[in-house]
Amino acid sequence: MLAKGAKRKFSEHEDGVEGKMSCGNGPSKVSYTLQRQTIFNISLMKLYNQQPLMEPSLQRTVLINNMLRRIQEELKREGSLRPMFISPSQSSDTLNDNYREVQPAFNHLPVPPIQVTSLTSTTSPDSCLTPASVLEDDTFSSCQTIELSVCKSQNHSLKDSFSSALDEIEELCPSSTTADSKSCKSALNEGSSEKPDELQEGRSSETKFADTLPGNFEITTTGFLTDLTLDDILFADIDTSMYDFDPCTSTTGSSSKMTAVTADDILKTLSPYSNQSVTPSQPFKMDLAELDHIMEVLVGS
Residues lying near another protein in the complex (CB under 8 A) are found at 35-36, 38-39, 42, 46, 53-55, 57-60, 62-63, 65-67, 69-71, 128, 130, 132, 135-138, 140-141, 144-145, 148, 222
Long-range contacts (CB closer than 8 Å, 24 or more residues apart) made by 43-49: 43/67, 43/68, 43/71, 44/68, 44/225, 44/228, 44/229, 44/271, 45/276, 47/131, 47/134, 47/225, 48/225, 48/229
Return the closest-CA partner of residue 223 out of 76, 69, 20: 69
Minimum Å gap between C-beta 161 and another protein is 24
CB closer to another protein out of 224 and 235: 224
CB closer to another protein out of 33 and 241: 33
CB closer to another protein out of 144 and 176: 144
CB closer to another protein out of 29 and 46: 46
Could you tell me which residues come within 8 angstroms of residue 35 by beta carbon, excluding any fewer than 6 positions away? none
Minimum Å gap between C-beta 49 and another protein is 11
Minimum Å gap between C-beta 48 and another protein is 14
Return the closest-CA partner of residue 96 out of 181, 197, 1: 197
Minimum Å gap between C-beta 263 and another protein is 29
User: Between the CA of residue 171 and those of 106, 166, 168, what are the distances in Å?
Assistant: 11, 8, 5
Query: Within a 10 A sphere around the Cβ of 288, how many other Cβ atoms?
Result: 23
Minimum Å gap between C-beta 286 and another protein is 33
Minimum Å gap between C-beta 19 and another protein is 16
CB closer to another protein out of 99 and 273: 273
Minimum Å gap between C-beta 76 and another protein is 16
d(C-alpha 251, C-alpha 8), whole Å: 39
CB closer to another protein out of 29 and 36: 36
CB closer to another protein out of 126 and 201: 126
Return the closest-CA partner of residue 103 out of 85, 127, 81, 122: 85
d(C-alpha 272, C-alpha 181), whole Å: 31
